[in-house]
Amino acid sequence: MMDLSIDPILDFTGKVAVITGAASGFGALVAEELGRRGARLVLGDINEAGLQSVVEKLTASGVEVQAMTCDVSSETDCAAMVALARENFGSLDIAINNAGIAPPMQHFEDVDEEIFDLQHRVNVKGVFFGMKHQLKVMRTQGSGVILNVSSMAGLGGAPKASSYSAAKHSVVGMTRTAAVEYARHNVRVNAICPFFTLTPMVTNMQAPEGATADQLHATFAAGCPMKRLGKPEEVVSAMLMLCSPALTYVTGQALAVDGGVSAY
């Protein structure tokens, strides 16, 4: 049941949203917020147990939700998520390509081919395969919104994260290309580019030898004008705005949610 106190700009009543990487972090939180605002959800993640936990929570609160175990590096799985939305809810209004992984922090010359390829299988192919099948449906419908989760590493350099930065730059490039190509079909495509945010990807990041996780986070925060890391809720608020049915003239953007880092 939709919360009737919600501002109309963030009213997603009846909208059908597909979200990858929905078992935790941004994916789980944006699923909860969209569901609370009336959306019907199709969720996917490779983490089956985590995904089931999110589904149970949403179902208990009255949200209509379908879910499937999804490896976004598989085009078959990405296509199946889109098909699941159409079969159960009849359309696809919003797609959030959120699933992603981070590599260990390494100097450029120490990155091996396996790590580089894994980044591109998940972080690049996962977005490409999702968009390929989402765009096909949205073009036919004559409407739709796609939001890709990139990173500040996709807008600038990221020391000790060369393979991740390369992958996230690819996400921004695909976002802008699709936005231009599909604008005439009333399909909007944007990306969100967070700075370090306290999701499991960051909190579980391995600190360099001799350092604690708190010290690592303090190092990250020192590079931000606000002198802190982001909160997941702050990023998800921006995600909701980019997906809003009212934001009809915004496409092709890579929005930095970064506490001012990009203003340097």
Nearest to 263 by CA among 189, 165, 148, 152: 152
| C-alpha to C-alpha distance for 125 and 143, rounded to whole angstroms | 24
User: Pairing mode, if any, of strands 40-45 and 16-20?
Assistant: parallel
The sign of the CA dihedral 9, 249, 41, 27 is negative
Q: What is the DSSP letter of 72?
A: T
| C-alpha to C-alpha distance for 80 and 123, rounded to whole angstroms | 18
Q: Please say if 182 is a catalytic residue.
A: no
66-98 in b/e form (b: 16+ CB < 10 A) is bbeebbbbeeebbbbbbebbeeebeebbbbbbb
Q: What share of the chain is helix, strand, coil (3-state, %, to 5)?
A: 50, 15, 35
Nearest to 47 by CA among 237, 233, 201: 201
Residue 59's alpha-carbon distances to 41, 54, 68, in angstroms, are 10, 9, 15
Active-site residue list: 164
